[in-house]
Structure 1
Amino acid sequence: MESIGASKTSLSSITTEELWKQSGRYSSNSELLRLKDRKDSGFLLSPTHEEEITALVASMVHSYKDLPLRLYQTGRKYRDERRPRQGLLRAKEFMMKDLYTFDSTVEAGLETYKSVREAYKNLFDELKLPYLVADADSGNMGGKLSHEYHFVSPKGEDNVWSCDSCEYVANEELVEKKTPSAAPADAKPLTFTGISMDRKTKIEIHVPRPSDLAADASPTWDQISTYTNLHALKKAVPSPIELDTGIESSTLTTLLPQTTSTTAITDKSLSPSSTATDLTITREGDSCPHCAAGHLHVQKAIEVGHTFHLGTRYSEPLHAYIAGPDAATMWSPMQMGCHGIGVSRLIGAIAALLSDARGLQWPRAVAPFEVAVLPTPQVPDEAATALYDAVGGGGGVDVVLDDRVGKGLGWKMKDADLIGYPVVLVMGRGWKDRGEVEVQCRRLGVKKDVGLGELKSEVESLLERL
């Protein structure tokens, strides 16, 4: 963050609900942990800090001369997750790094967004782990430009689509599809009648009937969800109506009150109407919408970062205005961006990718120490300290010496495996017989004896690959 001129700050874990009501996110967010003080005033355990940082900056910044401004923090966040699972990957409490940016013009805001994306690229490149950068839907955060950063993993909950011929990558919510062809004139649509969560609105869904479903069959919700893009369907339901996806069969609608209103959602292939929605689901092997030459493939992935260009989504409702350089730009809303990395999720994702039966295997960039020196109890303290200084002397390599008393070499080696040091130096039999150190790098499959003269260069060579 400091490489792009960001300054560190720290925001409160508790925030007033009034700011969230002002931004419009209070009533639309079901994951807020709400509380009241003794005066019955409403507060939240902050799941994110767009409202708070905007209000703070609005109270202190009033001129374009004070911009650009980039503020970041690393702190605890709280969300009322319906189903916390997979340890650090999805929890009610977690650590995040947030960067909030403020610019005076749209052009400057987009340039800032590019610089943040480059900084994120540098970070993930440094980890030397395969990752994907996907076009993403901004959702409840606001704005129309955002990207997600994913580690590919079978433990992931996100579906990320990528082309095997070009660089197109998008998440499931935003993946583009080719315009669907019109259904045959005699095609009988598949119609499902659902109900809103408040039981006041019937929701009719019309999609092309798949060939493997009988013409007279009444579809269940499971069948509809198999043939329909649920993200597009959710967006098509008029706000604030929310579809109850727990309904099992359209026959249950006979039990509904007759006074309910009805809203219809029709797939584009069934209707030329401008109000029709593309409910086509992307399938493995579909043609790429960008290059047409390649095909789309889906991978399970863990989202570890997200960048958003927010525009004036928060600066307008929270009155974060600045005086511009001329009359035409007097009191214009600031252009904002917010950019997050899930620190605790990143740790969990790396562990999911690199751990084995023996323990963790940290990339060099995030390891607690890069090298661990493990002497046997018989090695003199002076010799162990000299080796520690030889490897770590002059800086550049972060070394820890395991000089715990009363612990044998086998115990230390198992502990080092559990912790996951990238490189381990064992002062064992080779040291006693020949003055050589056993160099171990579990992740690269390296285990060999090295003389003192070549030791530092060997360690640095291994670390460069990690």
Structure 2
Amino acid sequence: MKDLYTFDSTEVEAMKTYNTVKEAYVHLFEELKLPYVVASAASGNMGGNLSHEFHFPSPKGEDTIVSCSSCEYVFNEELASGKCSNNHAKDKPTADSKSASTSDGLGRQEASAISTGQWTSISKDRKVLVRAFYPKFLITDGESEPAQREVNQHSLKSILSAYGIDLDIGVKDALAAWKGEIQKQPLTTEQNIRVVDVYDARVRVYDRPPIKELLEGVPSGDLNIRSSLLDRFPGTETGLDLLRARAGDQCPICGEPTLKPDQAIELAHTFHLGTRYSDVLQANVAVNPAILEEAGKKGHTEMVPVQMGCHGIGVSRMISAVSDILADDKGLNWPQAIAPFQVAVVPAKGLEKEAELVYDSVVGRNGESVDAILDDRSKDFIWKLRDADLVGYPIILAVGKKSWNSGNQVEVQCRRLDNLRTTVSLEELPKFVSSLLSKL
């Protein structure tokens, strides 16, 4: 892991540093010339209010990156707030939908239930059981058949954290864990045992099962099980969106039905931490009036907490991800930016001196810096060519007897460019190799 920690005296300077590091990472991934995405991300345990992740799209990835082809907004699924930003009125009910929208008795109009599903979790202190009700089947724009949907656990964590509930999504049998906590507690009304029911905006509130069914087989005595209902985003009248994004869902920024989720491998992350750690550690710095004035403040020199940033690239993970993405049945296939050598010169037996001419012509002309290697091992010609493929050099120059005896011709191989195999004269070779490298 390559880590970088930054320290600035004002937030203005900290943001300049953050953007500088982020641009440096962009340049690195551009140089690899592989598909990558920069996604807005949740800061998680690191803290702060701004972070970005760099990802390679891959079906083997552990992260889900959601992108909008309309406004080009890209975000990690973990960033989902649970706030309903879609116009759910456009969602088409499935054939097994229940009746149309009805009032819940409190003057609010409830969306029609669309094959409601239930997902259960528990708080980390095991005292709060959470039941999430969501549309299990839903038709979105562009779909003719109902698609089975799943709960976005990160949305639920975000919603419940606003109410002081720290959700533990790692518990497999939440109900059993909750019952176990009840059995451990004295049967009094003072224990904060609760049930919280959370509703997606597209299901009806009165569809929840009664709480007494949850207590079957558990001696609860006079234990007061409190029940809460959440169907609005905290502090607003906006409904909740508990679903994982699917292709064709509406973008939370532009509202167009152009979202597309992809699995991806995280390779780098940038965090603006602000003063989360410097406040606690009392890591202060003296700031002079000129800097304060530039930051929009006036006054004399004062001590302020440093603004921190944390950035990192997973070097070993990047090597693994690149090799996995580009490898084929012949072996590795490196981008030239991280390849052991850009060009490998592989001669047949008896053509070692001729191979030196090829090597010198590629490396020593036009003042260009080409990183090449000459395979002078006393191995069979075919063996060395296969080994060069296995290692994954971007360009292989095969100096064989047949082509060389046909007017000093060299066979140029480049798997990254549609498995290119062509013969080029020694005179034209430097220019040809240079043009290939510019495309890799």
Tell me the TM-score normalized by structure 2.
Answer: 0.73
Tell me how far 1:341 sits from its aligned partner: 1.0
Distance 1:132 1:273 in 2: 29
Distance 2:300 2:118 in 1: 53
2:422 alignment counterpart: 448
2:431 is matched with which residue: 457, 462, 466?
A: 457
Classify 1:442/1:191 alpha carbon distance in 2 versus 1 (closer, same or farther; 3 Å).
Answer: closer
1:278 alignment counterpart: 240
> Is 2:198 the partner of 1:266?
yes
The within-5 A match list for 1:385-396 is 385-393=356-364, 394-396=367-369
> Is 2:385 the partner of 1:413?
yes
1:234 alignment counterpart: 157
Asked whether the 8 Å contact 2:119–2:151 carries over to 1, the reply is no
1:319 is matched with which residue: 264, 268, 282?
A: 282
- The structure number with the bigger radius of gyration is 2
> Is 2:256 the partner of 1:293?
yes
Distance 2:424 2:259 in 1: 48
* Structure 2 residue identity aligned to 1:185: S
**SS at 1:346 equivalent:** helix
Tell me how far 1:232 sits from its aligned partner: 2.0
Asked whether the 8 Å contact 2:339–2:394 carries over to 1, the reply is yes
* Structure 2 residue identity aligned to 1:305: A
1:202 alignment counterpart: 128
Tell me how far 1:175 sits from its aligned partner: 4.4
- Percent of aligned positions that are identical: 46
Classify 1:180/1:250 alpha carbon distance in 2 versus 1 (closer, same or farther; 3 Å).
Answer: farther
**SS at 2:12 equivalent:** helix
- Could you list the per-position Cα deviations for residues 40-65 of structure 1 after superposition, in whole angstroms to 9, with x for gaps in the alignment? xxxxxxxxxxxxxxxxxxxxxxxxxx
Tell me how far 1:115 sits from its aligned partner: 1.4
Asked whether the 8 Å contact 2:64–2:262 carries over to 1, the reply is yes
Classify 1:293/1:385 alpha carbon distance in 2 versus 1 (closer, same or farther; 3 Å).
Answer: same
Tell me how far 1:425 sits from its aligned partner: 0.4
Asked whether the 8 Å contact 2:362–2:429 carries over to 1, the reply is yes
Distance 1:233 1:293 in 2: 24
**SS at 1:385 equivalent:** helix
1:168 alignment counterpart: 73
* Structure 1 residue identity aligned to 2:426: L
* Structure 2 residue identity aligned to 1:437: V
**SS at 1:150 equivalent:** strand
Q: Identify the range of structure 1 (321-330 vs 146-155) with the bigger mean alpha-carbon deviation.
A: 321-330
Unaligned runs of 5+ in 1: 1-95, 213-224
* Structure 1 residue identity aligned to 2:61: G
1:378 alignment counterpart: 350
**Does 1 or 2 have the higher relative contact order (CA < 8 Å, sep 6+)?**
2
- Could you list the per-position Cα deviations for residues 113-133 of structure 1 after superposition, in whole angstroms to 9, with x for gaps in the alignment? 111121111111111111111
Classify 1:166/1:174 alpha carbon distance in 2 versus 1 (closer, same or farther; 3 Å).
Answer: same
Distance 1:273 1:122 in 2: 39
Distance 2:273 2:197 in 1: 29
- Could you list the per-position Cα deviations for residues 229-275 of structure 1 after superposition, in whole angstroms to 9, with x for gaps in the alignment? 20122344556845264344747755552535226253463534736
> Is 2:327 the partner of 1:355?
yes
**SS at 1:148 equivalent:** strand
Asked whether the 8 Å contact 2:70–2:258 carries over to 1, the reply is yes
2:32 alignment counterpart: 127
Asked whether the 8 Å contact 2:69–2:259 carries over to 1, the reply is yes
- Could you list the per-position Cα deviations for residues 371-414 of structure 1 after superposition, in whole angstroms to 9, with x for gaps in the alignment? 000011211x4322222111111441001000112x01111101
Tell me how far 1:284 sits from its aligned partner: 2.3
Tell me how far 1:442 sits from its aligned partner: 1.1
Unaligned runs of 5+ in 2: 90-100, 105-111, 139-147, 186-190, 206-230, 290-298
Classify 1:436/1:211 alpha carbon distance in 2 versus 1 (closer, same or farther; 3 Å).
Answer: closer
1:185 is matched with which residue: 103, 112, 122?
A: 103
Distance 2:121 2:12 in 1: 45
**SS at 2:17 equivalent:** helix
2:50 alignment counterpart: 145
Distance 2:120 2:380 in 1: 69
**SS at 1:119 equivalent:** helix
Distance 2:309 2:337 in 1: 26
Classify 1:389/1:308 alpha carbon distance in 2 versus 1 (closer, same or farther; 3 Å).
Answer: same
Distance 1:256 1:317 in 2: 34
Distance 2:135 2:373 in 1: 64
Distance 1:311 1:366 in 2: 34
Distance 1:396 1:349 in 2: 27
Tell me how far 1:211 sits from its aligned partner: 6.5
* Structure 2 residue identity aligned to 1:462: L
* Structure 1 residue identity aligned to 2:278: S
* Structure 1 residue identity aligned to 2:437: L
Distance 1:389 1:250 in 2: 72
Cα root mean square deviation, aligned: 2.8
* Structure 1 residue identity aligned to 2:249: D
The within-5 A match list for 1:52-63 is none
Distance 2:247 2:121 in 1: 28
Tell me how far 1:184 sits from its aligned partner: 4.4
Asked whether the 8 Å contact 2:157–2:166 carries over to 1, the reply is no
**SS at 2:67 equivalent:** strand
